[in-house]
Amino acid sequence: MIHALAIALACAAFLMLAASMKRHQRDLVGRAVPEPRARLARIAGWVFIAVCWSLEAVVLGPALGTIVWIGELSMGAWLAIAFINWRSGRPTR
């Protein structure tokens, strides 16, 4: 169960980081986001990534937790990319 939470946090982190980029704002939010909100989304994304690592480090220890965290970050990034592609309506390759 802890891994599902970590993957969800990683996906949310990457979606926040994508929402802070002008390129993805229209796909995710539907409009351009003001710079202070984009900065807040960027900070939230990095905080979510740090919380995800902290969660794994506490549960599995720092060494194994880091290894598992990298895999969960990869899965979260894949899910975020899939969601952005689905939301934008662009065909996937």
Task: Report the C-alpha gap between 3 and 25 in whole angstroms.
Answer: 28
In this predicted model, what pLDDT tens digit does every residue of 27-69 receive, in sequence order? 777 777 788 888 999 999 999 999 999 999 999 999 999 999 9
Cα distances (angstroms) measured from residue 85 to each of 10, 22, 48, 70: 17, 15, 22, 23
Q: Given this model, what pLDDT does residue 64 score?
A: 95
pTM: 0.85
Q: How many other C-beta atoms can be found within 10 angstroms of the C-beta atom of residue 25?
A: 18
Mean pLDDT, rounded, of the chain: 88
As given in the structure block, the two tokens for residue 34 are 């003001």
